[in-house]
Structure formats: C-alpha cells, structure tokens
Amino acid sequence: MSDTAVSLQNLTLAYGETVAVPSLNLDIHKGELVALLGPSGCGKTTTMRAIAGLMTPRSGTIMIDGVDVTKVSANKRGVGLVFQSYALFPHLSGFENVAFGLRLKRTPAAVITQKVEAGLELVGLSHLAERMPAELSGGQQQRLSLARSLVMEPKVLLLDEPLSNLDARLRLEMRTELQTLQRQTGITMVFVTHDQAEALALADRIVLMKDGVIEQTGTPEDLYNRPNTVFAADFVGFENIFKVSGNTASNSMVIASDTGELNLNYRSDASHLAWRPEGVIIGSGPHAGVVAGVAFAGNKREYVITTDAGKIRADVDASESAVQIGETVSFELPESSARPLREAL
Amino acid sequence: MGKTWASRLIIFTTLLFLIGPFFIIIFAGLSAGSSLSFPPQGLSLKWYLAVFEVESFRQSFTLSMFLAVCGTLCALIIGVPAAYAICRYKIPGAETIKLIVAAPIIVPGIIVGLALLRYLVVPLNFTVTLALFLAHTALVLPYAVRVVSASLENLRTDIEEAAVLLGCTRLQAFSKVVLPNIRSGILAAFILGFVTSFNQVPVSLFLSGPGVRTLPIDMLDYMEITYDPSVAALSALLAFLSMGIVFIAEKTLGFSRYV
C-alpha cells in the first residue's frame, strides 16, 4: 500500500456561491506533521473541515489511507479533530470525555478504562481525570481534547490552531509535547495555523495557502530561506521587498518601492527582490538613510531607516554600538542575501 | 440620611403593595367565622381543611394539574426542537418566528380564549378538555422556546461536531451532548410553564364548560355562590405551592438565570 495518509484531488470547496477553495491537490504522507499555513480566509480551515467530513466538497476526491471517503460521513471517517476551543463536553468529567468515543463503539469496560488511562497518561493528565472541563486550565483542556481524539486511534489527527489560545510559555511546552507525541505514536497530523513561527517550529512540511490556492509547499527551512513569491516572502518575514523596475546598465539595476527607487550595482532577472532585516548591512555601503526608529530586542537592535525607496527594516547585532534616531547611516542591500521572487504564482 | 429614609420608604411601600394582599388572603382564610372578611373573625384552621372536602375543587384541581403537566410537556416537545432550529440554523426570518412564537404572551388572554372558542370549539366541535389542552400548550410554548433558547445560546456549537467526529450521528450528538447540557434550562422552562398554566384565568374562562373547569375558574364560580373563607384558604395554599416550586427551582437550578 502507498504511504499516503491523505490525498486531496481536484478538491473544490464552496459556501453557497462563494468558492473558498477552487481546486486543491495535496498528498500528506503517513506519519507526517503538516502545517496548513495562511492568513484568515485563505481556505485552510475549510480544507481541514473537508478532510474531517464536516463540510461536503462541491467536487473532487478525498482519499484517506487509499480509500475514497468523499461520500463517507464524518462519524465514520476515523479522523480526529482537536478544536481551537477544545470543544470538551462540559457535563462530563475528564475521564468520561476521553471515554466518550470508545463507549459509542461499545468497547468493553475494562478496555475503555485501560485505554482512557493510557491516553490521559500520554498527555500527563492522569491525576485530573475526575475534574470537570471547567475546572481545568486552558492548557489542560487542550491536552484533554488531544487525549480524547488520540484514544480513538484516528488515521489522521487534525488540529485547529493548536497553540493560538495558549500563553507564550504554555505554547512552547505544548509545541514540544505535540512533537514528542507525534514521534511516539507515529500518527499523521495536520494542523492549521495563521502563525508562521508556529508552523516553522512544529511542522515537517508547510503548505502555504492564499485565496484557496497552495502558494508554496516545503520544509520549514525551504520556506524560510527560499520563498518563491512576494506573498510567501512577506509571510515568512522578508520585511524588505522591492520591485525590480529596470536594468540600467550591464551591471546595475534599479529597485523600486511605492515611494521611490534605489540603484544597485548588480543585476537580477527576477521581478522582485527581498531581504530579511538581518540581511541588510548597516554602517557601510553605497546608500544613505536616516534612522527613524530603533528598538532594543535583547540580542539585536531593530532599526527602521528612511531611505530614497521608503522605509527599510534592518536588524543589527546588539553588541554593535547603537545609532541614534535622526542620525544618517550608510547601508547596503547585498546581493548575497537578496532573495529573487516572482510577483505571484 | 434623608435619602436613605426616602428609599427605604419606597421599598417598603412597594413590598407592601406586592405582598400585602397575600397576607390578607392568608389571614382571611384563617378565620373562624363563616364569611370572607378581613380582619378575620377569630382564628382557626377549619377553612384550610374544608378546602379538601369540596368535591368540585378536587375535580378542577385534577384538571388543572393535568393541563399544567401535560400542556407544558407538550409545549416542550414542540418547543425544544423549535428553539434548537432557531438557534442553530440560519433560518430566514428567525427573528419573525421568535416574535410569532411569543404572540400568546403579547395578545391578551381574553382574545386568545375568545378566538379558540369561536374557531375551534364551536365550529369544529372540539371537546372543552381538548380545547383547554391546546390553549394551555400554546400559552406555555413561548416560555418553553424562550427559556430553552437562552440555554442553547450559552452552549458551544462545536461540541456537537466533536461528538460527530467521535462517532455520533447528529441525533446521538443531540441526545448525548446537547440535551444533558440544556437539562436545567428545560427544567426551568417546565416549572415556568407549569406555574403559568396552573394560574391561567382569562383563556380558561372562555373554554370552561359544564363540569369542565380549571381550578381558578372553579374558585371564581364558587365565590359567586358561596362567600366563605375557603376560597381564601385555597388561594393561600396555591400560592404556597407556586412559591415552593419556584423556591426549589431557584435553589437547585439557579432558575432566575433563565427568566
């Protein structure tokens, strides 16, 4: 059998007249941890709901473990979903929440007890089994929701914004926990997020979506270092994006923003070029700008510099001495850190 | 200081106005005399005991109980799914439906009673009991829809989807997840409906026929003929019954959240 856990083929998803996802093709491998990343309204949640069976596709095919489940109803798909708000049953204890699905399957009581206890153990909630959901913290509720899905041994586990409702410290803890869990159980996980840092940190592979279309897929390293389009670059933190407006001579070109232009002493065939803030050199170089803002961020200083081509963001190691607001600095947009981009797909 | 006294006076007179008549009834029923009067002529419990001896009171009490219990249950059987549909599905004109459902609260009972008599009992030959049952169901329905809607709106919708993904059908999701979580709302609706139906006068007035009378109507009839303190005693007992039910509901369910 193939190693494809989920296969979406020419999937069209629509709400009435509004087409959310025009035609999606995506294969998710067994044991993979995939992030569906994109801004709100990009179709990532719709796609996830379609995989779960909570939404009927207008056309196309959904295969799970090689079986066409497009027409299979949500309660028979064997897909788990951890809701953003956890969706715990308020009238049932932690134990009963986890046991809910097993009881429906008429599992023998002894097996239920054993499986629920193992599930609670896995997420570190054994000692809170008798608590009601309202008596648990946000992080505990999420782990309970996770255990409730995991004991059903789903073919795919879907997670809707798994970290967004947690505070910064819990977020790190949960991130580690999800990775550990995935390694231990080998379960295929697909999670939806609008937070690129979350996707980069957690996923084996990121599927970046925009307006219902996959903009780019790749490993976190791929996407972080080598975005292909203006949208992808902007989403993963290339804060300085310029249009290449013309090659003036054999070894120079002009880049432009909405507000102005800069001359660079090298050429590119790309339609756009982008630099991360840490890719901009400050203190030397052919251009000059005025420091409009500077913020100390521990290991670095974050500058905003007003230039002929508008504002430029630059990060400089904090060990270097600070340039004050209002001072003029020279800077360079080096060829080595420039990422060539296409305008769109 | 003056302000405090003024506000206390207002509170006291308001309470007196609301509760005063109730005390008059209690004491009027405690009379040892044989006609309804206040202050009572001597004290005795005999009228409170006499109430239970009156045959027509027993019959009308049974009818009122039947109407209150069955009418309210029937209203809930219609009202709970209606409330669910209004809350969960984007029905065009849901607000209008809510308004129509609330009509029996808005329209004066006298008119409802007259309409039912004129268009159900007279032309269609409905029995009086059936007409009363329908009327009471319709009267309680708005309370059922409203109170159950309130508790449904406080319930997350995604728990039903969670239940479905764990293997439930939609119907199982409703019975295993939604119903247990709105149980107290349904109980509250039942109690409110029960009390409303039991104390209902204007609609029942039109629909009462020979030998078929609800308790409040029977009391009215009784008073026209016999002017003794038993009616006051019965009123006091009924008021205590209603208070008891609401008190227990408040203690066990936090009743006032839903009304």
Quick one: how far is CA B173 from the chain centroid? 31
Q: What's the pLDDT at B105?
A: 76
What does each C-alpha distance from A133 to A125, A126, A168, B165 come to in angstroms? 12, 14, 22, 19
Q: What's the pLDDT at B239?
A: 86
Q: What's the pLDDT at A249?
A: 66
Domain residues for B196? 54-257
B2 pLDDT exceeds 70? Answer: no
> Any idea which of A212-221, B68-77, B129-138 has the lowest mean pLDDT?
B129-138
For residue A152, list chain B residues with Cβ-Cβ distance below 8 A.
166-167
Mean pLDDT across the stretch B208-228?
83
CA A41/CA A20 separation, integer angstroms: 8
**Hey, of A48, A91, A155, which one would you mutate to test binding to chain B, going by the most B CBs within 10 A of its CB?**
A91
pLDDT digits 0-9 by tens, B80-116:
999 998 888 877 877 888 788 777 778 888 888 888 8
Q: Scanning the structure block, which residue is given the tokens 């029942």?
A: B204
Percentage of chain A exceeding pLDDT 70: 98
Answer whether B162 sits within 8 Å of A90, measured CB to CB.
Answer: no
More confident residue, B190 or A169: B190
A100 pLDDT exceeds 80? Answer: yes
Query: Which alpha helices (H) appear in chain A, and where do they start and end?
Result: 44-52, 94-104, 109-122, 138-150, 168-185, 196-202, 220-225, 230-235
Q: At what angle do helices A168-185 and A109-122 cross, to 10 degrees?
A: 130
Q: What's the pLDDT at B258?
A: 56
What does each C-alpha distance from A77 to A10, A35, A72, A74 come to in angstroms? 20, 21, 6, 5
Q: What's the pLDDT at A45?
A: 94
**Average pLDDT score, chain B:** 86
B159 touches chain A (CB under 8 A): yes
B254 pLDDT exceeds 70? Answer: no
- Residue A227: which pLDDT band, with cuts at 50, 70 and 90? very high
A85 touches chain B (CB under 8 A): yes
pLDDT digits 0-9 by tens, B140-184:
998 899 889 989 988 888 999 999 999 999 999 999 999 999 988
Q: What's the pLDDT at B257?
A: 57
Q: Scanning the structure block, which residue is given the tokens 């709100």?
A: A40
The shortest C-alpha distance from A94 to chain B (Å) reads 14
Q: Which of A224, A215, A264 is nearest to A244 (CA)?
A: A264
B255 pLDDT exceeds 70? Answer: no
What is the value of ipTM here, to two decimals? 0.84
Q: Are strands A261-264 and A252-256 parallel, antiparallel or unpaired?
A: antiparallel
pLDDT digits 0-9 by tens, A80-98:
999 999 999 999 999 999 9
Domain ranges within chain A, ordered by starting residue: 4-226, 240-341
Q: What's the pLDDT at A337?
A: 92
- The number of beta carbons lying within 10 Å of the beta carbon of residue B53 is 9
A52 touches chain B (CB under 8 A): yes
**CATH code assigned at B198:** 1.10.3720.10
Mean pLDDT across the stretch B193-201?
88
Mean pLDDT across the stretch A21-39?
94
| Structural domain total, chain B | 1
Answer whether B161 sits within 8 Å of A54, measured CB to CB.
Answer: yes
B256 pLDDT exceeds 70? Answer: no
> Any idea which of A214-223, B94-103, B124-133 has the lowest mean pLDDT?
B94-103
- Residue B1: which pLDDT band, with cuts at 50, 70 and 90? low
For residue A104, list chain B residues with Cβ-Cβ distance below 8 A.
166-168, 172
Answer whether B159 sits within 8 Å of A148, measured CB to CB.
Answer: no
- Residue A165: which pLDDT band, with cuts at 50, 70 and 90? confident
> Any idea which of A107-121, A166-180, B9-23 has the lowest mean pLDDT?
A166-180
- For domain A240-341, the CATH superfamily is Nucleic acid-binding proteins (2.40.50.140)
Q: How many CB pairs under 8 A join A and B?
A: 59
How do the residues of chain B divide into helix, strand and coil, expressed in percent and rounded to 5?
Answer: 80, 0, 20
CA B88/CA B84 separation, integer angstroms: 6
Q: What's the pLDDT at B259?
A: 52
- Residue A173: which pLDDT band, with cuts at 50, 70 and 90? confident
Answer whether B165 sits within 8 Å of A91, measured CB to CB.
Answer: no
B100 touches chain A (CB under 8 A): no
Q: Which of A19, A66, A40 is nearest to A192 (CA)?
A: A40
Q: Which fold has domain A4-226?
A: Rossmann fold (3.40.50)
Amino acid of residue A302? E
A105 touches chain B (CB under 8 A): yes
A42 pLDDT exceeds 70? Answer: yes
**Average pLDDT score, chain A:** 91
Q: What's the pLDDT at A310?
A: 87
Q: Return the DSSP state at A342.
A: B
Mean pLDDT across the stretch A174-191?
89
Q: What's the pLDDT at A102?
A: 95
Q: What's the pLDDT at A104?
A: 93
What does each C-alpha distance from A63 to A45, A176, B130 come to in angstroms? 18, 30, 57
Q: What's the pLDDT at B42?
A: 80
CB A46 within 8 A of CB A192: no
pLDDT digits 0-9 by tens, A114-156:
999 999 998 889 999 999 999 999 889 999 999 999 999 999 9
CA A259/CA A307 separation, integer angstroms: 10
CA B51/CA B232 separation, integer angstroms: 10
Q: What's the pLDDT at B108?
A: 83
Whether B230 maps to a domain, the answer reads yes
Q: What's the pLDDT at B50?
A: 84
